[in-house]
Amino acid sequence: MFKRQVQTPTSSASISQAGMTRSTKDWSRPSSSSKPVEYGLASKGDTRLADHKTQETFFHTIQTRYLTHIGSFPSVPALDEQFTALSIASNNTYTPSPTSPSPTSTLPPDISTLQNILMDMRKLREGLLSSNRLDDFAKSAYLFITRAAILMSHPESYFPSIRHLLYVVHKQNPLSNPEVNELAGYLMLHLACSTNSYHDAYEVKLRFNVRDHRVETAVRALVTGDYWLFWSTKKSVDGYKSKIMDRAVKDIRKHALKCVGSAYHSVDVGFLEGCTGREWDILREEFGIAWEEEGDKVVVKRRPVGAGKSLNVKKEGEKQETNKETALGPNREPNKEVKKEVKKEVKIEQPAKPKIETGGGLSGSRWATPRREENQQTKGSDSWTQWG
């Protein structure tokens, strides 16, 4: 039998004598644990974002990435160009500004960062919804997502956030009056500009008592088709409302072109650009317009040739003289061959109406109506139908 050897713990002295193996890891490089954790969607089964501390940490990460990316652009037009490219890639109804360069002249902007930020916002929204969090942090997170998504023209992100804030969070944790007025105005514009749901837009106005005359004017311009009022209102609103109104720009331009085409034969180029809010050259390529341009005017319709010439119409006196000449012979004598046709009036004798005996009941009243003549011949003249 073999005896079990007793293993004594290694002392610190023995460790120092044996020495420690030198680590070959480069500590100057960031470790893998410092990288942002990739969370999944709560709707797909990932429940890590249901924790409140994890939600707060992830929200601050999203804020930092978004603000860093926005601040990296040298000018506002460059940032608008990337927002436009993101909206087109998301299959949203958005018309880029005429000042933006064509995609053939420059390379398309890299929108992968913005797409990742939008996906992270969705993950956070689903995490907040799964945890049923309605505190102040949830309000601030939803407000940030709403405003950022409006600037990126992404209704799939800002529309559910606005509805959740107004219809769910506001009941448990009331928003301030300026916040309610702001969010309800965004919702009114989205319903009117994106889905043409004017009835729902006015329902939101009455429910939340929206007091923003610019939003009301924009909705009224869409309802009445007043494109001049729409363009003037779009210039006076802030950037968030203007981004939402961009979704109705194409329909307003099409409506203005139909109005001009049905009302004018020719218009000035400046007038047409004012009606549509777009330069004539870009407008013609965008809608495929076949109108011709002559100098400073655009010819909508051409008048037919000879439309302004006077027609040779004989007067009534000349007609009477020609009729007399045909009725008289060459020696100004009546032509015997011309015979006047005398129309004989044929009188058609109508059968006498049956006499109505004024008796009692409805048969003698003014409400009694006779039946057809066929029924009178078969059933006799004393049969009547009454109103029953």
Section 189-205 average pLDDT? 94
Residues 171 and 69 in one domain: yes
Domain's final residue, options 249, 278, 308: 249
Domain's final residue, options 154, 175, 196: 175
CB 75 within 8 A of CB 153: no
**pLDDT for res 124:** 94
Residues 165 and 62 in one domain: yes
Tell me, yes or no, whether 349 lies in a domain. Answer: no
Tell me, yes or no, whether 321 lies in a domain. Answer: no
Q: In angstroms, rounded to a whole number, what is the distance separating the alpha carbons of residues 219 and 201?
A: 8
214 pLDDT above the threshold of 90 = yes
This prediction's pTM: 0.65
Residues 118 and 83 in one domain: yes
> What does 336-386 look like in DSSP terms, one character per residue?
SS--PPPPPPPPPPPPPPPPPP--SSGGGSTT-B---HHHHHHH-TT--B-
Q: Which two tokens stand for residue 41?
A: 């969607």
Residues 112 and 225 in one domain: no
CB 381 within 8 A of CB 353: no
Residues 290 and 219 in one domain: no
The per-residue pLDDT for range 217-273, each reduced to its tens digit, is: 999 999 999 999 999 999 999 989 999 999 999 999 999 999 998 888 888 989 999
- Residues of the domain holding 290: 264-299
Residues 269 and 212 in one domain: no
Of residues 291 and 104, more confidence is placed in 291
Tell me, yes or no, whether 65 lies in a domain. Answer: yes
**pLDDT for res 188:** 96
Tell me, yes or no, whether 348 lies in a domain. Answer: no
Domain's final residue, options 188, 217, 249: 249
Q: In angstroms, rounded to a whole number, what is the distance separating the alpha carbons of residues 191 and 306?
A: 51
Report how many domains make up the chain: 3
CB 25 within 8 A of CB 102: no
Residues 71 and 135 in one domain: yes
Give a three-class secondary structure readout of 125-141.
HHHHHHHCCCCHHHHHH
pLDDT-derived band of residue 47, with 50, 70 and 90 as boundaries?
confident
Tell me, yes or no, whether 325 lies in a domain. Answer: no
Residues 52 and 142 in one domain: yes
Residues 45 and 170 in one domain: yes
287 pLDDT above the threshold of 90 = no
Q: Which two tokens stand for residue 388?
A: 């029953």
Residues 191 and 284 in one domain: no
Tell me, yes or no, whether 34 lies in a domain. Answer: no
**pLDDT for res 136:** 93
Tell me, yes or no, whether 159 lies in a domain. Answer: yes
Residues 237 and 287 in one domain: no
**pLDDT for res 155:** 93
Residues 51 and 169 in one domain: yes
384 pLDDT above the threshold of 70 = no
Tell me, yes or no, whether 126 lies in a domain. Answer: yes
Indicate the burial class of 131 (C-beta count within 10 angstroms; 0-12, 13-18, 19 or more).
middle
Q: In angstroms, rounded to a whole number, what is the distance separating the alpha carbons of residues 130 and 146?
A: 19
**pLDDT for res 340:** 52
**pLDDT for res 17:** 47
Average model confidence (pLDDT) for the chain?
Answer: 75
Of residues 306 and 65, more confidence is placed in 65
End-to-end CA distance of the chain: 123
